Amino acid sequence: MLIDVALPLSLAIIMFSLGYGLTFADFGRVLTMPRAVMTGVIMQVFAVPLVAFAAVSFADLPPALAFGVMLLSFCPGGVTSNILTKLAGGSVALSITLTAVVSLLSVLTVPMLVAWAAFRFLGEAAPQINVSAIAVSMFAITAVPVLIGVLVRFVATEFAERTEPMVSKVAVGLFLIIVVVALATNWGLFMENIATLGPILIGLNAVLLILGVLVARVIGLSGSDGLCISIEMGVQNAALGITVAGLVAQSGGIPEFAVPAALYGITMYVVTIPGMFVLRMIFGKA
């Protein structure tokens, strides 16, 4: 099917756009702000799935959708998190670093977590999960495009700086298309469960935003670092969630597992944009 080629290709372009906005210094920044980076990584990789697990454990969702929520929670921050962090007055340097580091780490973390979640939520109905195959596929469509983007920017810095806005717009457009196609493909399931799934995803988003700021405040990070970590947790890479759902299903097209990620790709902006300004007023950005 055309979608089986278009979906991973679109994600690869989105991830290339992420790398296109990075420099090697962004990865080196891990050494210059280790506490903030480690906090952000831990919150993204561990806290987000734990909060999602708590949410679906108390919700009455079909197993496929519960599994889909977990798939979404395993993904790194979305490519628009850097822009939102800037608008909110958060630490843009930290946001860029976290997006880069967690996106590369996801090649290792996502396949293992997906295998566990499939067993936990789908049981005997779970498709055969080939962890190695998912890891290789993710490396090819996430890590490689990011690294290519970084290299292109390093080799042709001026050209990259001129064309980055256009590349980013293409990436956002592809992201929107992926979300719409995923919802349209599973429209019946979406309509049957929107009343339950919508509040769960909105509540999950709100909790993640608040948790990120609170944890940063407790350990003594600045308000701008807290806002950044909050947004990185709340804005997930929904396109990756949809793509991973397809890799897991191995049946062609976009499976029902992708519905939560597709819906979250819309609701996360509805919640995060006003939420980040409320958090800024409460906690400040100093």
**For the chain, what are the domain ranges?**
2-277
Is the separation of the CB atoms in 73 and 50 below 8 Å?
no
Q: pLDDT digit string (tens) for 73-103? A: 999 887 788 888 888 888 888 888 888 888 8
Q: How confident is the model at residue 95, as a pLDDT?
A: 85
- Judged against a pLDDT cut of 60, whether residue 1 lies above it is answered with no
Q: How confident is the model at residue 126, as a pLDDT?
A: 77
- Judged against a pLDDT cut of 60, whether residue 48 lies above it is answered with yes
Mean pLDDT of the chain: 86
Q: For residue 3, name the pLDDT band (cuts at 50, 70, 90).
A: low
- Domain covering 2-277, topology: Na+/H+ antiporter like fold (1.20.1530)
Residues 222-248: what's their mean pLDDT?
89
- Judged against a pLDDT cut of 90, whether residue 12 lies above it is answered with no
- Judged against a pLDDT cut of 80, whether residue 31 lies above it is answered with no
Residues 217-230: what's their mean pLDDT?
90
- Judged against a pLDDT cut of 60, whether residue 240 lies above it is answered with yes
Task: Identify the residue with better confidence: 67 or 93.
Answer: 67
pTM of the model: 0.86
Q: pLDDT digit string (tens) for 146-175? A: 889 889 999 998 998 899 889 888 888 888
